[in-house]
Amino acid sequence: MAIEGEKIVAVAKEAHIPKAEKIVDAAGKFVIPGIIDVHVHMREPGFTEKEDYTTGTKAAAAGGITFVCPQPNLVPVPNTVENYMMQIELGEKKAVVDFNPIASPLLYEKGQVPELAKAGTGWFKIFQRKAAYPYDTAAGTSNTAHIYKAFKAVAPTGLYVAVHPCNIDILNETVSDLEKANLKGDYVAYWSKTYSNEELTSAALQLGYLAEKAGCKYYALHCYLSDYIDVIRRMKASGQNVVASAEALGLFPMTKEEAGEFYGPFQSFEKENQEATWRGLLDGTIDFLGTDHAPTTKESVMEALSIREPEKRGGGNPMLEVYLPLMLTAVNKGMLGDVNQGLERMVKLCAEKAARAFSSYPRKGVIQVGSDADITIVDLDREDTITTEKYARYTKAHWTPYVGRKVKGVPTHTIVRGSIVMEEGEILVNPGYGKFIKPVR
């Protein structure tokens, strides 16, 4: 392949490739489209003690990711054009990979939705509860009528609305049962009871109906529970315009030994849910993946545990630097079919289909002439062991719940618009290299 400036200018056998100033030798490796992560929490603005655009996007680059979509549970929430532009400015000053921040549609009454669509949000996101992990921000509401109004406001823009589904009555009842058993403050008990099939699936059923009624495209996220995946499969079979994603935490259960004090057992780790999720990846019910990189410092984790408020710790983990090695290991294990077929499927799930759904294809998500030269080079044979030093090197969190996990397959180069951003773990560009990517509509 040949790259000139920011673009791919030729894809051909070596003899047909023009002479180049610089050659990257990928012999023995695989050259794939740059990985797109549709679900990251960059924590900026508002919570930069946990992560910011520079540390978060360096972690992305180290993990072979070329393009990220930061989620809106921030302060201020990107629910006005002004707030949205603030995020773009921060990213353009500080990011090392490309990005598209996701806006909140909840200020629909103020006419912000069409403006935010024009400003370039890839889609919209709502948390169906006030507490938007782990913060109380304006990015969330448990008022279903308001969500329905937001769907109606977004419908004419043609964009998807992603909803973190939560049946608040079921969640509250679960928490009250934990309280009665004197377990409400117990982190392990809390996260093994909440996030249940009933909590998410019953909400998704209702959301799917309301989105369709509003004529709005529905994006179902956190699809790593068996009943939830079945519901999405039925919506798709009925012809509804819905896309679905699973996030890395749900795909790769951690063990107590690996995670230590960061251990949190989720219902998605149960065998039935694991099998359903990987089946959903294979049969196309789940369209694409994100990391749900949710960095939080060790100090704040420890504080939440000591004051027995599991909510404050949140359920997420730093994932950007481990995600691709975990995926490549799954490919090597045959979890997505035989290795070649598996790698192809992985590219669809981790790059191409998200670019298509959110209108940045074929600029992103594919290796072809005219596309941005966003390339991830992976060594599918290299074996390694996950350590904090190497796999939580750039995130401000500096911890990973997978310490000691053996992986086979790692990214060796991350190329964004023709520049090598990461080579063998080292970041080679300055903050501000990353660009805001506006979808083409």
The residue number whose beta carbon is nearest to Zn ion equals 292
Q: Does 51 bind Zn ion (CB under 5 A)?
A: no
Q: Which stretch binds Zn ion (CB under 5 A): 182-190, 212-220, 251-259, 288-296?
A: 288-296
| 290 versus 342: smaller Cβ distance to Zn ion | 290
Asked if 205 and 231 touch (Cβ cutoff 8 Å), the reply is yes
Residue 247's nearest CA partner among 314, 317, 191 is 317
Cα pseudo-dihedral 173, 179, 183, 188, rounded to 10: 30
C-alpha–C-alpha distance, residues 243 and 409, integer Å: 28
C-alpha–C-alpha distance, residues 5 and 419, integer Å: 8
Residue 416's nearest CA partner among 40, 63, 48 is 63
| 266 versus 361: smaller Cβ distance to Zn ion | 266
The least distance separating Zn ion from the CB of residue 250, rounded to whole angstroms, comes to 11
Q: What value does the CA radius of gyration of the chain take, rounded to a whole number of Å?
A: 21
Q: Which stretch binds Zn ion (CB under 5 A): 135-143, 199-207, 267-275, 290-298?
A: 290-298
The least distance separating Zn ion from the CB of residue 63, rounded to whole angstroms, comes to 16
> Taking CA 169 as the corner, what is the angle to CA 168 and CA 173, rounded to the nearest 5 degrees?
115
| 47 versus 433: smaller Cβ distance to Zn ion | 47
The least distance separating Zn ion from the CB of residue 194, rounded to whole angstroms, comes to 15
The least distance separating Zn ion from the CB of residue 252, rounded to whole angstroms, comes to 15
In what helix (H) or strand (E) does residue 40 lie, and over which residues does it extend?
Answer: strand 35-40
Please give the distance of CA 193 from its chain centroid, rounded to a whole number: 23
CB atoms within 10 A of CB 113: 27
Site mask, Zn ion, residues 243-282, x = CB under 5 A?
Answer: ----------------------------------------
Asked if 220 and 244 touch (Cβ cutoff 8 Å), the reply is yes
Residues 6+ apart with CB under 8 A from 424: 412, 413
Structural tokens at position 276: 């359903």
The least distance separating Zn ion from the CB of residue 244, rounded to whole angstroms, comes to 15
What number of helices (H) and strands (E) belong to the chain? 17, 17
| 292 versus 311: smaller Cβ distance to Zn ion | 292
Q: Phi and psi of 361, rounded to 5°?
A: -85, 140
Q: Which stretch binds Zn ion (CB under 5 A): 177-185, 207-215, 285-293, 400-408?
A: 285-293
The least distance separating Zn ion from the CB of residue 292, rounded to whole angstroms, comes to 4
The least distance separating Zn ion from the CB of residue 65, rounded to whole angstroms, comes to 15
Q: Which stretch binds Zn ion (CB under 5 A): 96-104, 105-113, 287-295, 397-405?
A: 287-295
Map tokens 């989720």 to a residue. Answer: 266
The least distance separating Zn ion from the CB of residue 237, rounded to whole angstroms, comes to 27
| 212 versus 292: smaller Cβ distance to Zn ion | 292
Q: Which stretch binds Zn ion (CB under 5 A): 4-12, 81-89, 284-292, 416-424?
A: 284-292
| 245 versus 332: smaller Cβ distance to Zn ion | 245
| 249 versus 386: smaller Cβ distance to Zn ion | 249
In what helix (H) or strand (E) does residue 375 lie, and over which residues does it extend?
Answer: strand 375-385
Asked if the peptide bond before residue 78 counts as cis, ω within 30 degrees of 0, the response is no
The least distance separating Zn ion from the CB of residue 77, rounded to whole angstroms, comes to 14
| 125 versus 348: smaller Cβ distance to Zn ion | 125
Report helix, strand or coil for 266. Answer: coil
Q: Which stretch binds Zn ion (CB under 5 A): 262-270, 286-294, 365-373, 387-395?
A: 286-294
Map tokens 């023995």 to a residue. Answer: 28
For Zn ion (CB under 5 A), the number of binding residues is 1
Asked if 216 and 209 touch (Cβ cutoff 8 Å), the reply is no
Q: Which stretch binds Zn ion (CB under 5 A): 94-102, 139-147, 270-278, 289-297?
A: 289-297
| 162 versus 415: smaller Cβ distance to Zn ion | 162
CA distances from 38 to 23, 43, 150, 404, 407 (A): 30, 15, 21, 27, 23
| 44 versus 292: smaller Cβ distance to Zn ion | 292
| 294 versus 407: smaller Cβ distance to Zn ion | 294
Among 98, 292, 352, 374, binds Zn ion (CB under 5 A): 292
Residues lying near Zn ion in the complex (CB under 5 A): 292
